[in-house]
Structure 1
Amino acid sequence: MPQLALDAATLTYDDEGHRDTGAAPLVFIHGWTANRHRWDHQMAHFSPHRRVIRLDLRGHGESTGSGARTIDELADDVLALLDHLKIDRFVPVGHSMGGMITQTLALAHPDRVERMVLVNSISRMAYSRGRGLLMAASTLVPFKLFVAANIQRAFAPGYPREEIREHIRSSATTPREVVMTLYAAMRAFDVLDRVPEIRTPTLLVHGYRDIQLPVSQMLRMATSYPDAVIRIIDAGHELPLEKPAELTATIDRFVTDPR
């Protein structure tokens, strides 16, 4: 289990698969309160054919540290890992907050991002005044209740309750400072006006039943992307867990498309 020591943090990551195929490595970036195992299905599928990397963001999973207060700072961590691994061109695949990190990387380093995949992610947090007040009020409830409420509503109806409870328990192990700081970072994230600058081929794949980041917000964002492919899957916000095989097949078709 390799690790990379950074300033005030240690990143745990996996670096697997073939390195001599000539294909740019896939870099899987998880979302808020999650960890690198969100991508187990994708790692198992792609590693026999190409190099694949995933990491626990600082303060998540088996990585340590806090201190990152913006999406830009998390993107810097990902880039530091890739520099450490001597990877120039890569294909980031980001879920939710990981998709925000992915867009940040594409904007800051367009020469290094060959193509990218955004899973249940958006370019700007947008909500009605009422929902905004509800989200602000939710930060005032006890921490475990705050985490449980957010994770519970991430899954579409019918997902096994015991599995949801396990994900709630896992998310609640993320330090409170990390959870609340990055919750604020996501709410502040806004690159929608810069999306037309992103010229790299992009796959936007979203769960139709996502109520955390509704599909309508993704479609509004999609109109700004110069070169985007859109796929809608019957799932909630946790697409990598709810429909892993369908998501993997969708990513595979996109990254192997020669266009």
Structure 2
Amino acid sequence: MNPARRDLTATRAPRVRLPRVDIPAGRLIELPGRGSTYVTDTAGPTADAPAIVLLHALTTTGLLTWFPSIPELSKRFRVITLDLRWHGQGIKSPEFSLRDCADDAVALLDVLGIDEAMFAGFSMGSLVAQRVWRQHPDRAGGLVLCASTDAFQMTATERVFHNGMAGITSRVPGSGSPRRAGRVQASQVDPAVDINRWALNEFRSTSPIAVGKAVGAIGRHHTRPWISQIDVPTAVVVPLRDRAIPPARQIAMARRIPGATVHEVDGGHSCCVIDADKFVPVFAHACSVVRARWRERAES
């Protein structure tokens, strides 16, 4: 996961040209018994357009991971993002777990009055999407897993990284200053005026302490024992120059999911933003494939 953070830090550099798109406004929504989180909800082409919930990557926010993709997806879907726990304006809680994040995403469906949705995730978000299906199989109509894996700590380097981060941050209570996101949002700039400063503010809204502790939790991700049981339409989007999660591991995971389609992107682990011109068309196509299969299954 660390290379992803380095890639996204490149938003400071003038040479990175972020896509110029309309970024939807959002609002804080209370999830009963869980806490509040920042949500965007973009209407699709029709009132009954299928819903897709986009789950973001480590260190980022719902909008920072997905803002380049929202305009294209909204041509076919009702597009929903949320800030996951400890990230941006997400829920602040004593502990971080992917299981809780999955429950939060489904709790948001309850608040929005949505029975079933597609779930798409990038990196950390794809791990949450897997858990959504595992914990709430009746709420996930399909999955799109980008830059994903069904296991970490497969190499000595990964074990040192995840366990080391967990050990270091375990000595620090909480997940960082609870006022951090508020301060960042108070200084927020209009993305239409300066997209790079807006993106950097989104990035800074998640504390390094929260990131370190989340890395430890992510390192315990291991869905290989049951990933072959996924029975909803699934697409796997593989960045071919990913240095955080080896592409071969991503493809091997896809082969363990019955009927999963594989969609390749010529980009690295942050291609959802840094190489959005390459990522968005592939991602949108993968979502359309899953949507078509979801519809066929519903009609059969």
Do both share a fold (TM > 0.5)? yes
Q: Tell me what 2:43 maps to.
A: 17
Are residue 27 (structure 1) and residue 53 (structure 2) matched?
yes
Q: How does 1:40-79 map to 2 (within 5 A)?
A: 40-79=67-106
Q: Which secondary structure state, in structure 1, belongs to the residue aligned with residue 68 of structure 2? A: helix
Q: 1:22 to 1:168 in 2, by over 3 A?
A: closer
Matching residue of 2:274: 242
How do 1:38-187 and structure 2 match up within 5 A? 38-137=65-164, 140=168, 170-187=202-219
Counterpart Cα distance in 1 of 2:39 and 2:202: 18
1:201-240 aligned at under 5 Å gives the runs: 201-240=233-272
Is the partner of 2:250 in helix, strand or coil? helix
Alignment-mate amino acid for residue 2 of structure 1: R
Aligned residue number for residue 2 of structure 1: 27
The one-letter code matched in structure 2 to 1:127 is M
TM-score by length of 1: 0.81
Partners of 1:217 and 1:166 in 2: CA distance:
33
Q: Give the Cα–Cα distance (whole angstroms) in 1 for the partners of residues 219 and 161 of structure 2.
A: 13
Give the partner amino acid of 2:88.
Answer: G
TM-superposition CA deviations, 1:171-199 (whole Å, max 9, x none): 45413442222111100011111011101
Native 8 Å contact 1:8 1:65 kept in 2: no
Moved more, 1-10 or 100-109: 1-10
Which has the larger displacement, 80-89 or 49-58? 49-58
Show the counterpart of 2:287.
Answer: 255
Q: What are the Cα deviations for residues 4-51 of structure 1, in whole angstroms up to 9, with x where unaligned? A: 224463201011113745442011110111111221121111224431
Q: Which runs of 5+ in 1 are unaligned?
A: 144-162
* Residues 8 and 67 in structure 1, CA contact (< 8 A), matched pair in contact too: no
Deviation per residue, 1:194-225 (Å, 9 max, x gap):
01110111111121111111112112212211
Taking the aligned partners of 1:42 and 1:112, their CA distance within structure 2 comes to 23
CA RMSD of aligned residues (A): 2.7
Q: Is the 8 A contact 1:17 1:46 kept in 2?
A: no
Relative to structure 1, the CA distance from residue 27 to residue 86 in structure 2 (aligned partners, 3 Å threshold; closer, same or farther) is same
Whether the 8 Å contact between 1:95 and 1:120 is mirrored in structure 2 is yes
Offset from partner CA, 1:74-126 (integer Å, 9 cap, x none): 11111111110011110111011100000001122222211110110111114
Residues 134 and 125 (structure 1 numbering): CA distance in 2 closer, same or farther, change over 3 Å? closer
Q: Where does residue 7 of structure 2 map in the other structure?
A: none
Alpha carbons 2:238, 2:251 under 8 Å: kept:
no
Which secondary structure state, in structure 1, belongs to the residue aligned with residue 141 of structure 2? Answer: coil
Alpha carbons of structure 1 residues 240 and 233: separation in structure 2 relative to 1, 3 Å:
same
Supply the distance in 2 between the matched residues of 1:17 and 1:66 (Cα, whole angstroms). Answer: 30
1:198 aligns with 2:227: no
Aligned length: 239
Q: Give the conservation status (yes or no) of the 8 Å contact 1:120–1:239.
A: no
What letter corresponds to residue 103 of structure 2 in structure 1?
Answer: D
- Once residues 173 and 34 of structure 1 are traced to their aligned partners in structure 2, the CA distance between those partners, rounded to angstroms, is 8
Distance of 1:165 and 1:138 partners within structure 2: 28
Per the alignment, do residues 164 and 19 of structure 1 end up closer, same or farther by CA in structure 2, a change over 3 Å counting? closer
What is the SS of the residue equivalent to 1:67? Answer: coil
The more displaced of 119-128 and 81-90 is 119-128
